[in-house]
Homo-oligomer: A and B are copies of this chain.
């Protein structure tokens, strides 16, 4: 997280004067005497902990703040003339369909927008050569999609040509583009926004950040992450059951987490059955008396079995890196799961300790499930906030919840760094307390 955050960098760009009365005016008046619409002065501190805050006050510093999300009294787009579009990008994540549904329902029923396009298969859907047909999204079409995992619109990885995507959006007459995707896709969204601005096109680009790894900054959590962590617990239960049923049983589970071990940590704490968690943020030694292999062997000898979670991005320094990247430009990770499996087998064999190791890689079974009820609520509210922002002519932002408040974060800020598990803070401490593993394998 950047140490110094310039308060001015948190201002949200707008397409211009907002002069149209919100169709929500009557509803707001009835539920809140005095029309308590959300104004742009309603903000929330980025940092809320002492002694930091005290020091800033003492120094007379201006506080970095996020604009609070919600309906605005005056909006920029006339709903009856507005065309919205939704695109879903990157790997599957629980909740995609909930966000699509929430945006459609909100734009249609609350604002009265009648043209909402679904862009198929991610940014590919904006490049005519792929031949994907644009979809019309209506409340009927999306009514039940949240009962299913995946994304109704399809998805793809990687960037596409920005100029051609903006050409296509202009051709379609899109006024508000909703981009549901990860940091790479949000950078793509920002590039679209910038190109549209250069052309003078009145296009609002609003992002809904998606990362199953929960590794984007300035948000309490990403949608789908809690569902994924809950699904991961099933894999841990399976590993625990296998480990306990065999002599010298080890259950080894590889979970998502390229750069951040949140799912691994959550699955460990939630299951209460894990003896070691390996995450990208905490390097570990394999060999030697205090190394991972021997510590686990001791555990198996003394307690009969062990359960280990390894995040896919952990221990990369132990593997020969290929330097290859995938379509999204992400570095191809070495396969830490099979590597550990083999090294454990070698070590136990060398020590003549019985071993029955079961290796579980549940990732597709995790990321494809429908969202849990809590994630549904989160998706619904993110979708509602995204529509409020877009209709108000705000652009180049993502919507998120920060310290319990829904806010607007500039895309540039949200993608400026990655959120990781801090090995000196309470989540990791809670993992250590839950698993009983040493602070470090050395």
- Residues of A at the B interface (CB closer than 8 Å) are 27-28, 30-33, 36, 41-45, 48-51, 53, 57, 63, 65, 68, 70-71, 92, 101, 105-106, 109-110, 121, 124, 130, 132, 144, 146-151, 154-156, 220, 226, 229-230, 233-235, 237-239, 241-242, 244-247, 266-267, 269-272, 358, 360, 362, 364-365, 368-369, 372-374, 376-377, 380-381, 384, 403-406, 423-424, 426, 428-430, 432-434, 436, 438-440
Q: Which residues of B contact A267 (CB under 8 A)?
A: 373
Q: In the assembled complex, which residues on chain B have CB atoms less than 8 Å from the CB atom of A439?
A: 27, 30-31
Provide the residues of chain B in CB contact with A433, threshold 8 Å.
Answer: 105-106, 109-110, 384
A376 to B434, CA, bound (A): 12
Number of copies: 4
Known: A146-B272, A245-B151, A424-B32. A49 touches B43 (CB 8 A): yes
A426 touches B404 (CB 8 A): no
A337 to B222, CA, bound (A): 34
A270 and B373 contacting across the interface, CB-CB below 8 Å: yes
Pair A229/B374 contact, Cβ less than 8 Å: yes
CA distance A272 to B226 in the complex (A): 19
Tell me the smallest distance from the CB of A34 to a CB of chain B, in Å.
8
User: Quick one: given A45-B45, A245-B92, A270-B376, are A237 and B368 in contact (CB under 8 Å)?
Assistant: yes
8 A–B contact pairs at CB < 8 A? A30-B439, A49-B68, A146-B272, A150-B245, A235-B365, A266-B377, A270-B376, A380-B434
State A92–B150 Cα separation when bound (angstroms).
30
Closest beta carbon of chain B to A201's beta carbon, Å:
28
* Known A-B contacts A429-B31, A429-B71; A365 and B364 likewise in contact (beta carbons under 8 Å): no
**Would A242 and B368 count as touching, CB distance under 8 A?**
yes
Q: Which residues of B contact A101 (CB under 8 A)?
A: 272
